[in-house]
Every structure is written in C-alpha cells, then in structure tokens.
Amino acid sequence: MKKVLENKSKKMTRLREAAYELFTSNGIPNTRIDDIVKKAGIAKGTFYLYCKDKYDLVDKVILRKTTDIINNAMKAIAENQNAQDTDFLENVIVFADYLLEHFKRDKKLLALIYKNLSWDLYEKALTFEELGTAEKTFIEHFTKIGGDSEVAKQRLFIIVSMVGAVCYNSIVLEMPYPIDLIKPELYRSVTRILVQ
C-alpha cells in the first residue's frame, strides 16, 4: 500500500525529470511524448495516468522548478540576515542576485520558465507557500520604512518584470549585454525604483 504510493511518486518524478531534460535541450515542440516516456523508462499509456497531456506536464515541470528556486532564494536571504544586520533594500538585491546567478548557470531553465508564463500557471504558483511568503515579506518591509502597501505591490511587480526581462535578454538571448556587465546598472535601477 505504502509501497504503491511511493512507486507512483517515483514515476511522476522520473517523468518530470525526463521531461525537463528534453524540454530544455530540444524545446517543447520538438519533444515527443514518445521521447519522454522512453527516457523515463515507462510505457506510453502510463504517461496518461499521470498527466492530461504534454502541456499539463510542462506546467508541472515549471511549477516544481520555480518553487524550488524561490525556496532557495529565500534561504539565501535568511542566511544573509543571520550573518549581519541587513536592511530591506539589501535583502531585495540578495534575493534578485540569487535568482540571477542561478539562471546564469542554468539558462535553459530560465528560457523554459520565461517562454511559458501564463496567467493560469501564475495563479497556481501563488497558491504555493513559498511565493506567497516572499511577496508578503517584501510588502511588510516596505511599509515598515514608511511606504504604502499598494505602492509596494506595484513596485514589486515592476521590479520583477524588469529583472526578469533583463535576465532573459542578457542570459538567454545573449543580447545586447552580458549579464555581468549590465548587473551594476540593473541593481542601481532596482535601488532607484525602491528608494523614496
């Protein structure tokens, strides 16, 4: 009984990981269900016991990868706070820098996430604890230093959009600047947007 459940969970993991490899290497349209199940070592019919279709698996893969990274980014802030007395602005930069450095090493993942943003997926993501917590923490800090919570949300949205787009262009499209060159101006922009 317990073994069966474990087995199912393992199969789903194998599916997700096989799909991730193939999606990032060959692109989603060039990845066939056949390829995924072959790599995962399961039968084609089994695939449909776990996923509605290919795009359901795309969502599952992205959701899992995204929450993992956000989780780690928040740990990075926590570690930073333990080490020294930090302020709000620094935390935002640390958070962004964690993501940026991660994507620098894994540009395929950034491409995958960025190309498959959708309202549906975003809604699912926010129901995950990690994302909600990150947003709430940001707003709390922002109001603590005298800001309005509505303005906080809007600036957060602008910063996330900006950092995301710059990373995508610099890291994935490799244009027009290498990410390390543009980084100082990018963080300056974050700062300029946040400070009163």
Angle at 79 between CA 83 and CA 140, to 5 degrees: 100
Q: Which stretch binds DNA (CB under 7 A): 25-33, 80-88, 147-155, 176-184?
A: 25-33
Does residue 23 bind DNA (CB under 7 A)?
A: no
Q: Which helix (H) or strand (E) holds 16?
A: helix 2-26
Environment class of residue 121 by beta-carbon count within 10 Å: exposed (0-12), middle (13-18) or buried (19+)?
middle
Judged by CB under 7 A, does residue 193 bind DNA?
no
The yes or no reply on residue 25 touching DNA (CB under 7 A) is no
Torsion sign over Cα 96, 105, 51, 1 = negative
Specify the residue, 91 or 170, whose C-beta has the smaller distance to a copy of itself: 170
Q: Which of 13, 30, 81, 143 binds DNA (CB under 7 A)?
A: 30
Does 45 participate in binding a copy of itself (rule CB under 8 A)?
Answer: no
Tell me which stretch binds DNA (CB under 7 A): 40-48, 67-75, 123-131, 134-142: 40-48
Contacts of 172 (CB under 8 A, 6+ apart): 107, 110, 111, 114
- Distance in angstroms (rounded) separating the CA atoms of residues 192 and 185: 10
- Which residues, numbered 136-155, are part of the site for a copy of itself (CB under 8 A)? 151, 153-155
Q: Quick check: 54 binds DNA (CB under 7 A)?
A: yes
Count of CB atoms situated within 10 Å of the CB of 61: 25
Nearer to DNA, 27 or 132 (CB): 27
**Mask for 77-116, x = binds a copy of itself (CB under 8 A):** --------------------------------------x-
DSSP 172: I
- Based on the shown chain and the rule CB under 8 A, indicate whether residue 57 belongs to the binding site for a copy of itself: no
